[in-house]
Structure 1
């Protein structure tokens, strides 16, 4: 697969990034694609697929509600508070 300007433009649009040096990006992306082409030449037909690097099953915690009884200590740790409410920075500008 050859990386061309259209692929770079489409990648930048999908990733919502601005690419300043298109030629550098094309070279680096071409290196990545070339590496995957080398990997695709490997014969892995005799290998068992590995879906998770950890062989033991994951144990999930129970879905139990646990009430924290010392909420006053939590409220005391925040620098800004109003009565029993804590103030945090907004996420919108």
Structure 2
């Protein structure tokens, strides 16, 4: 099953991708896109009866953890490393005049 990709489609995809393609590159892109669409057509022939839809090949569970503070407020210990401190903050040199 050969998918025919038009010049207009290649031009439009080039605009979306912000690409300037030569005529040779456009022809190659047409072939490549056609091959991809042929492969997708081939995949649609597979019998997926009874196969649950999924978003990942492997089982993915919630990887997020509760946001729990574990180190507390170590402001005093942190400020001991500061060369200079004022009102509980680091004092740094000005970066502009």
TM-score with structure 2 setting the length: 0.59
Structure 1 gaps, min length 5? 74-82, 87-93
Task: Give the 3-state SS of the residue equivalent to 2:28 in structure 1.
Answer: helix
Query: Superposed, which structure 2 residues align to 1:3-18 within 5 Å?
Result: 3-18=5-20
Structure 2 gaps, min length 5? 83-91
The RMSD of aligned alpha carbons is: 3.2
Larger Rg: 2
Return closer, same or farther for 1:11/1:84 CA change in 2, 3 Å cut-off.
Answer: same
Q: What do residues 25-78 of structure 1 show as CA deviations (whole Å, max 9, x unaligned)?
A: 1111111111111111112122112233443522412234566864859xxxxx
Task: Give the 3-state SS of the residue equivalent to 1:48 in structure 2.
Answer: coil
Within the candidate set 40, 49, 52, 2:53 is matched to 49
Query: Superposed, which structure 2 residues align to 1:1-93 within 5 Å?
Result: 1-20=3-22, 21-55=25-59, 57-64=61-68, 70=78, 83=92
